[in-house]
């Protein structure tokens, strides 16, 4: 490797040297390379040392350190291209030499090409750009985890919520993962960063059936409102359309953006009894197409609402900057319903989806079916987050348990002695019948005992077989069984005596 100036002859034939110094060296494949340097010899010598180090790294396959990466990023474009043509810079290194603004533009085109909505693409890329600009990074090597972490902490100290801070980190990490997958970077520099623990500071509540009915009635009869502020405005969103919007959210669980982008062609309401709504994959949060059933009354109201609209028209004419939470809060106030209850739980537009999930649980719908209707990835999200049950629901659940309250006059205990051993008639009347005179004719203390006979209405059990044989023999001999009848509560059944209940006279067999 050498540093020199090129000699040449001018027009007069005199020998001259160029003002710029050059570096002559051999690359990792032992090929001779010549690179222009600077007019200052010392600066060209410094370039020569960097090139020598770059050749060594390329020959060994080692990764350039921080100092070397910054030097590569600062190279002039023509010199960088010459080094890339000489294979001294890998394709990954060349791609990483692009400014972050250019890489983020390519990432934005990737998001749009894979089917993300324009609103989603704009939201995610704007969050990532905000963090990149906040740490002052211009190239990939400037993405440092500690600087990103400190920037987001400063933003939280200035009022940014923890959830919003996590969204910004998630967006930038998504950009980094894309860079790794496409080969621009070998690793994610932010891989060690984790979202900050979010403690729920505001809990949503579900509207009761009475509160929802009141909201829909007052909203339908109310004035038109501005879609961005919720203030009354003559040319705003009509009250009936807002009421229909709220009802559809509470009876289908559709999200704000899914309702906003809904077209008339997505409604299958020709047969109200089998009506449904289609959620397109491009508008769904999980990017999966779905078809949800509609209640018959809701389907008829939607049919009247879109009767004069073309198939490609929107079902709800909402402005681009529609702020559903502000509009709903104004309608809650007009209906006399509190935005926040005594427990600190609030009602925003997403609470209508919570209301839908809660009503499914109150209606006895299985958790698996509720998960499908809500289009959740896991039933835990359905049960723990979206199902908000109260004390009244707990009381109704306990009231549904079987009633095991004992009768007012409990059955008498069965005697264990030889005389007066009772046969209970059962829960119908609770009386006891002496069986001593049946099992052996009165005075037979050695007769075996049986447990109490249950029920005189539907479950009669016969007396012991031995007692039945003796009873039949006494009948044939016309024996007077009055003593047995008095002792056991038998009733007269014509030709012979039949044992019966002492209280209700119902025969025991």
**Tens digits of residue pLDDT in 11-53:** 888 888 888 888 888 888 888 888 888 888 898 899 889 899 9
Calculate mean pLDDT across residues 65-77: 78
3-state SS assignment for residue 497: strand
CB 430 within 8 A of CB 411: yes
Which of the residue ranges 169-173, 189-193, 198-202, 385-389 has the most confident prediction, judged by mean pLDDT? 169-173
The pLDDT of residue 447? 47
Answer yes or no: is pLDDT of 444 > 80.
no
The pLDDT of residue 460? 45
CB 90 within 8 A of CB 72: no
CA-based nearest residue to 267, from 297, 241, 299, 236: 299
Which of the residue ranges 12-21, 70-79, 300-309, 387-396 has the most confident prediction, judged by mean pLDDT? 300-309
Domains of the chain: 2-90 (no CATH), 100-181 (1.10.150), 203-349 (1.10.443), 422-498 (no CATH)
pLDDT-based confidence at residue 491 (cuts at 50, 70, 90)? very low
The pLDDT of residue 330? 95
CB 37 within 8 A of CB 21: yes
Answer yes or no: is pLDDT of 150 > 90.
yes
198 compared with 435, residue with greater pLDDT: 198
The pLDDT of residue 142? 83
Answer yes or no: is pLDDT of 421 > 70.
no
Report the 10 Å Cβ neighbour count for 237.
20
494 compared with 172, residue with greater pLDDT: 172
The C-alpha atoms of residue 169 and residue 157 are separated, in whole angstroms, by: 16
The pLDDT of residue 262? 95
Report the 10 Å Cβ neighbour count for 80.
18
Which of the residue ranges 42-46, 64-68, 89-93, 138-142 has the most confident prediction, judged by mean pLDDT? 42-46
The C-alpha atoms of residue 418 and residue 332 are separated, in whole angstroms, by: 78
The pLDDT of residue 464? 52
- List pLDDT tens digits, range 286-326: 888 999 999 999 999 999 999 999 999 999 999 988 999 99
CB 244 within 8 A of CB 261: no
Which of the residue ranges 171-175, 343-347, 458-462 has the most confident prediction, judged by mean pLDDT? 171-175
Calculate mean pLDDT across residues 111-126: 89
Calculate mean pLDDT across residues 151-180: 91
The pLDDT of residue 397? 78
Answer yes or no: is pLDDT of 484 > 60.
no
Whole-number average pLDDT of the chain: 80
């Amino acid at each position: 490797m050498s540093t020199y100036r090129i000699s040449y002859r001018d027009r007069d034939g005199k020998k001259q040297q160029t003002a710029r110094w050059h570096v002559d060296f051999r690359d990792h494949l032992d090929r001779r390379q010549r690179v222009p340097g600077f007019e200052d010899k010392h600066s060209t010598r410094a370039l020569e040392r960097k090139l020598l180090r770059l050749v060594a790294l390329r020959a060994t396959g080692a990764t350039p350190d921080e100092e070397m990466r910054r030097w590569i990023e600062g190279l002039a474009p023509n010199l960088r291209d010459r080094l890339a043509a000489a294979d001294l810079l890998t394709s990954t290194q060349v791609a990483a030499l692009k400014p972050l603004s250019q890489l983020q533009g390519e990432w934005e085109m990737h998001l749009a090409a894979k089917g993300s909505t324009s609103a989603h693409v704009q939201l995610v890329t704007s969050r990532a750009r905000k963090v990149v600009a906040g740490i002052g990074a211009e190239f990939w090597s400037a993405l440092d985890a500690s600087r990103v972490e400190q920037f987001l902490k400063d933003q939280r100290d200035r009022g940014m919520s923890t959830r919003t801070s996590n969204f910004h980190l998630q967006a930038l990490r998504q950009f980094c993962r894309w860079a790794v997958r496409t080969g621009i970077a070998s690793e994610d520099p932010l891989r060690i960063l984790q979202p900050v623990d979010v403690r729920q500071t505001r809990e949503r509540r579900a509207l009761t059936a009475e509160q929802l009915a009141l909201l829909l009635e007052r909203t339908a009869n109310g004035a038109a409102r501005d879609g961005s502020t919720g203030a009354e405005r003559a040319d705003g969103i009509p009250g009936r359309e807002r009421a229909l919007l709220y009802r559809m959210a509470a009876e289908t669980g559709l999200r704000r953006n899914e309702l906003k982008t809904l077209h008339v062609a997505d409604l299958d309401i020709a047969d109200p009894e089998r009506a449904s709504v289609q959620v397109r994959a491009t508008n769904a949060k999980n990017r999966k197409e779905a078809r949800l059933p509609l209640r018959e009354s809701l389907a008829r109201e939607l049919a009247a609402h879109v009767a004069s609209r073309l198939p490609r028209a929107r079902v709800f004419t909402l402005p681009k900057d529609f702020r559903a939470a502000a509009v709903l809060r104004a309608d809650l106030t007009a209906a006399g319903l509190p935005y926040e209850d005594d427990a600190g739980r609030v009602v925003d537009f997403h609470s209508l989806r919570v209301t839908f999930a809660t009503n499914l649980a109150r209606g006895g719908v299985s958790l698996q079916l509720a998960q499908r209707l809500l289009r959740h990835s896991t039933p835990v999200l359905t049960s723990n987050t979206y199902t908000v049950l109260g004390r009244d629901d707990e009381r109704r659940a306990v009231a549904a348990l079987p009633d095991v309250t004992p009768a007012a006059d409990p059955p008498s205990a069965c005697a264990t002695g030889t005389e007066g051993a009772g046969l209970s008639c059962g829960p119908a009347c609770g009386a006891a019948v002496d069986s001593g005179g049946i099992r052996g004719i009165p005075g037979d203390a050695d007769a075996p005992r049986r447990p109490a006979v249950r029920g005189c209405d539907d479950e009669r059990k016969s007396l012991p077989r031995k007692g039945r044989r003796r009873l039949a023999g006494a009948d044939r001999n016309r024996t007077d069984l009055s003593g047995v009848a008095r002792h056991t509560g038998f009733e007269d059944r014509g030709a012979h005596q039949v044992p019966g209940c002492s209280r209700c006279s119902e025969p025991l067999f």
